[in-house]
């Protein structure tokens, strides 16, 4: 099956463990990708049904082929995961079951990284695309062609935490006046030119922060995540578990803040009796962020940056 054999789900066993707390119900895999996590969940729990969400229709096609053997225990939705509330309602109607778990494995998928023509990787020459949904209009090339120096600086600094954001942005605008930037290696060359030699010796590939920033901007990732997390919590039935795997600090910061707020009472500290409406909605299931162990790091280097956080919904707002 083309595309699926190379996919190694990050922290698969831990995700399955957390999402198997209730052995019967609906699990929503909000970032389906090639379906590796969904496959492990379905294999481990014969009474669970999985709904897979992805904005990439090719990922849906490959995952559907991979998981066809599970029949009506697997359903797909071509959308972004901020629509998770609608997906949950549809699955309750289809399956007649509670939503007992949600998984969000954030960032770019293995398939998207490995397909050079998608333009996510700075290691190979490709068109400056970076769209997770190939039908959307905004690409990395269109941002680089139209954004001002100030806009590019903010993008690189905010989404990539790039120290030399202004220098790189100014050079991009200068270069595009001569010829449009259309390929990843053209962008990498500009970034290398702008970063001092001393800064290239540490911190990995010099283009990684700018590429991250462009990918986040093209796909509106942080806005979608910030809107999706509260909706995911609302979509869960009481007792359900939400697991989120983040791959960069900006994502993890949003997850941490939302989880902490949900696990904290909103009542004044000196209130002798806490009303039901002020009690925490969530229980933290992880102490801080969990990381991949040494064995997984050796087998799957892409697991190195992952930060896994999980919560259980313990109270409804209604």
CATH number at residue 19: 3.40.50.150
Q: Is residue 110 part of a domain?
A: no
Q: Of 196, 219, 242, which residue is a domain's last? A: 219
Distance, CA of 263 to CA of 286 (rounded, Å): 12
Q: How confident is the model at residue 271 (pLDDT cuts 50, 70, 90)?
A: confident
Q: How confident is the model at residue 25 (pLDDT cuts 50, 70, 90)?
A: very high
Flag whether 205 is marked binding.
no
Q: How confident is the model at residue 278 (pLDDT cuts 50, 70, 90)?
A: confident
Looking at the fold, whether 170 and 230 belong to one and the same domain comes out as no
Element (H, E) at 95: helix 84-95
Q: Of 219, 234, 254, which residue is a domain's last? A: 219
β-pairing, 307-313 vs 241-246, is antiparallel
* pLDDT value of residue 113: 65
Query: 159: domain range?
Result: 116-219
Flag whether 129 is marked binding.
no
Looking at the fold, whether 70 and 138 belong to one and the same domain comes out as no
pLDDT in tens, 106-161: 977 666 666 667 788 888 889 999 998 888 899 999 999 999 999 999 999 999 99
Q: Could you give the number of structural domains in the chain? A: 2
Q: How confident is the model at residue 272 (pLDDT cuts 50, 70, 90)?
A: confident
Looking at the fold, whether 82 and 229 belong to one and the same domain comes out as yes
Q: Would the pTM of this model clear 0.75, i.e. be above it?
A: yes
Length of the chain as a residue count: 318
Q: Is residue 137 part of a domain?
A: yes
Looking at the fold, whether 122 and 204 belong to one and the same domain comes out as yes
Looking at the fold, whether 229 and 306 belong to one and the same domain comes out as yes
Looking at the fold, whether 126 and 209 belong to one and the same domain comes out as yes
Looking at the fold, whether 215 and 120 belong to one and the same domain comes out as yes
pLDDT in tens, 40-79: 999 999 999 999 999 999 999 999 999 999 999 999 999 9
Flag whether 81 is marked binding.
yes
Q: Is residue 1 part of a domain?
A: no
Q: Which long-range contacts (CB under 8 A, 24 or more apart) does 191-198 make?
A: 194/164, 194/167, 194/168, 195/164, 195/168, 196/164
* pLDDT value of residue 5: 46
CATH number at residue 165: 1.10.150.170
* pLDDT value of residue 200: 75
């Amino acid at each position: 099956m083309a595309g699926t054999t190379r996919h190694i789900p990050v922290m698969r066993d831990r995700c399955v463990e957390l999402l198997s707390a209730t052995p019967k119900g609906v699990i929503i895999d909000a970032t389906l990708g090639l379906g590796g996590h969904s496959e492990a969940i379905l294999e481990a729990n014969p009474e669970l049904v999985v709904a897979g969400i992805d904005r990439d229709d090719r990922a849906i096609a490959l995952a559907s082929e991979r998981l066809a053997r599970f029949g009506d225990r697997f359903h797909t939705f071509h959308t972004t995961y901020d629509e998770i509330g609608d997906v949950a309602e549809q699955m309750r109607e289809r399956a007649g079951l509670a939503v007992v778990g949600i998984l969000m494995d954030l960032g770019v998928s293995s398939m998207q990284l490995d397909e050079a023509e998608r333009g996510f990787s700075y290691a190979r020459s490709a068109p400056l695309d970076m769209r997770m949904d190939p039908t959307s209009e905004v690409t990395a090339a269109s941002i680089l062609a139209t954004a001002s120096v100030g806009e590019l600086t903010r993008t690189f600094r905010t989404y990539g935490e790039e120290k030399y954001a202004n220098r790189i942005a100014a050079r991009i605008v200068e270069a595009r006046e001569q010829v449009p930037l259309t390929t990843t290696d053209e962008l990498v060359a500009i970034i290398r030119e702008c970063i001092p030699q001393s800064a290239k010796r540490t911190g990995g590939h010099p283009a990684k922060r700018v590429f991250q920033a462009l990918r986040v901007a093209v796909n509106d990732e942080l806005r979608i995540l910030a809107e999706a997390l509260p909706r995911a919590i609302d979509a869960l039935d009481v007792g359900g578990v939400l697991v989120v795997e983040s791959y960069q600090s900006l994502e993890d910061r949003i997850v941490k803040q939302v989880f902490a707020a949900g696990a904290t009472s909103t009542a004044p500290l000196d209130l002798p009796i806490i009303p039901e409406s002020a009690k925490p909605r969530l229980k933290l299931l992880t102490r801080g962020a969990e990381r991949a162990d040494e064995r997984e790091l050796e087998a799957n280097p892409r697991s190195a940056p992952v930060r896994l956080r999980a919560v259980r919904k313990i109270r409804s707002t209604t």
